[in-house]
Chains A and B, each alone.
Chain A
Amino acid sequence: MIIEVLNTLLLSMLVVTALGIARMRSLFPVAMMTGLFSLLSASLFVLLDAVDVALTEAAVGAGIITVLFLGTFALTSAKEKTVLPRRALLGLGVVCVTGAILVYASLDMPHFGASDTPVHNHPMRERFVETSQAEVGIPNMVTAVLASYRGYDTLGEVCVIFTAGLGVVMLLGARKKAAR
């Protein structure tokens, strides 16, 4: 019962935050509100028992991204450009159609908490949930899957992060050196 109330409260706060972001023209409060949005999403992830994702969302979404936004505003402008009413209508149309498609797609998703879904019936489930305790012996099976069974993919992800870092430092960090 409490979970339902919390879920409803958090989800409606998400909607209110999103509407608030859409209405604002000054971007500093928008950066703050997106941080709040991330924090609310992180709380929802905790309620869904996805604590790993919640940790990431809270640290990246509410912490790092907000600061990067602020840094970007300091370099560019903290004011949204005014949009012609005709283009605003077009944007509203695109958003509504995309939203409708997403809602339609979500109708195909299994019911929340249903037990007859591929997540529960797939043959690999037993390997990851049960055999992993004997093979890897680590209580957090998310870590066992990410670091051991799927180590190859995680190595690829780390390379992607490293490459992204290299790219940003080369693109944005170079000019400062030249100016010195």
Chain B
Amino acid sequence: MRQHTLLRVCTRMLVPLILIFALYVQFHGDYGPGGGFQAGVIFAAGIVLYALVFGVEAARRAVPATWLRILSAGGVLLFAGTGVVSMLAGHNFLDYDALAGDPVAGQHIGIILVEFGVGMTVTGVILSFFYVFAGRGRRD
């Protein structure tokens, strides 16, 4: 795949757009369609496209597998941690009203944090799948 100039040039232009679109879907999920899961999958798809054209090793250098493990676990921690913080503030687990003085502002903060956690975990897990599948069977 490395000789195809057209593919390389197009991928170089497309990948940043896909990643930015993923971030848009992530942080605009409160107002438009989308949310953490969709954003995570789109982000992972962008990296997968990069890996398909420039090789899995190049993608591993850009996004190391260790980061993905931290990302996957960090997402779950962020989600559950938001719940614990609202509990410490005297509300129920995952009751975001506790996160700010104004309940609606608290809900906004809570949803953004929680959706970001979902996105982190989904990106991490799906890219780990891809790395594991792509890295198997090769003796390097």
Residues on A close to B: CB < 8 A?
51-52, 54-56, 59-60, 63-64, 67-68, 71-72, 74-75, 134-140, 142-144, 146-148, 151-152, 154-155, 158-159, 161-162, 164-166, 168-169, 172-173, 175-176, 179
Contacts and interface: CB of A to CB of B under 8 A. Distances in A.
B53 interface: no
B100 to A, nearest CB: 12
A1 B134 CA distance: 46
Interface residues of B, number: 54
Interface string B53-89: 0000000000000000100110110011001000000
B80 A155 contact: yes
A72 B129 CA distance: 11
B45 interface: yes
Contacts of A135: 103-104, 107
Contacts of B14: none
B38 interface: yes
Given A140-B30, A162-B73, A168-B128, A59 B41 contact: yes
The interface residues of chain A, by DSSP majority, are classed as helix
A144 B125 contact: no
Contacts of A54: 33
A71 B125 contact: no
A134 B128 CA distance: 40
Interface of B: 25, 29-38, 41-42, 44-45, 48, 52, 69, 72-73, 75-76, 79-80, 83, 93-94, 96, 103-104, 107-108, 110-111, 114-115, 117-118, 121-122, 124-126, 128-137, 139
Nearest to B122: A161
B83 A71 contact: no
Contacts of B52: 67
Given A158-B76, A159-B76, A64 B38 contact: no
B34 A52 contact: yes
B111 to A, nearest CB: 4
B110 A148 contact: yes
Nearest to B120: A158
Contacts of A139: 30-31
